Amino acid sequence: MDSMKNFTKVGVIVGSVALLMGAYGAFAGAQVNVACVQSAIDKRENSLIAARQQYDADVVAAIAVRRDARKAAWDLDTVAKRNAAIDQAMNAFRKSHDQADAKFMSAVKVGSKQFGADMKACKAAPAANEASI
């Protein structure tokens, strides 16, 4: 019975070590190139920063266009024309905002995929909690 307990303990320890090896990105028998991993992290984080800055700029531009269109709508001489112009401004804003969202999500997806490829080239796997951006 004691040998079964020891076997279970060894199995838990071996399993834990294997899990930790995977969590910290070590491939069995491979030497992780730390500089390569750090470069991959820089590349991913910088691409995410650039994508976010572009997203913010796109949304700010959409808001500015909406603002100007709504202001111009109030110069129109009838309520019907004004409401139509405001609807058009809001629809254009939603479309621009949706395009900015899609562009940002695409950039995140590309960055994540590239990060995985870069980590593989470094003979490392992303830690479990850094697999996605």
pLDDT at 105 over 90: yes
pLDDT at 33 over 50: yes
The mean per-residue pLDDT over the stretch 110-129 comes to 87
pLDDT of residue 23: 45
Q: Which residues pair with 124 in a beta bridge?
A: 26
Domain co-membership, 24 together with 39: no
Asked if residue 89 is part of any domain, the answer here is yes
How many domains does the chain fold into?
2
Q: If pLDDT is split at 50, 70 and 90, which confidence band does 132 have?
A: low
Domain co-membership, 101 together with 115: yes
Which domain does 111 fall in, by range?
Answer: 33-123
Tell me the CA end-to-end span of the chain in Å, nearest whole number. Answer: 47
Asked if residue 133 is part of any domain, the answer here is no
Helix (H, G, I), strand (E, B) or coil at 26: strand
Q: Which residues pair with 26 in a beta bridge?
A: 124
Domain co-membership, 10 together with 43: no
pLDDT of residue 30: 65
Q: What's the CA gap between 66 and 63, in Å, rounded?
A: 5
Domain co-membership, 105 together with 53: yes
Report yes or no: 55 and 115 within 8 Å, Cβ to Cβ. no
pLDDT of residue 57: 98
Q: If pLDDT is split at 50, 70 and 90, which confidence band does 124 have?
A: confident
pLDDT of residue 13: 40
By CB neighbour count within 10 A (0-12 exposed, 13-18 middle, 19+ buried), where does 129 fall? exposed
Q: What's the CA gap between 113 and 105, in Å, rounded?
A: 12
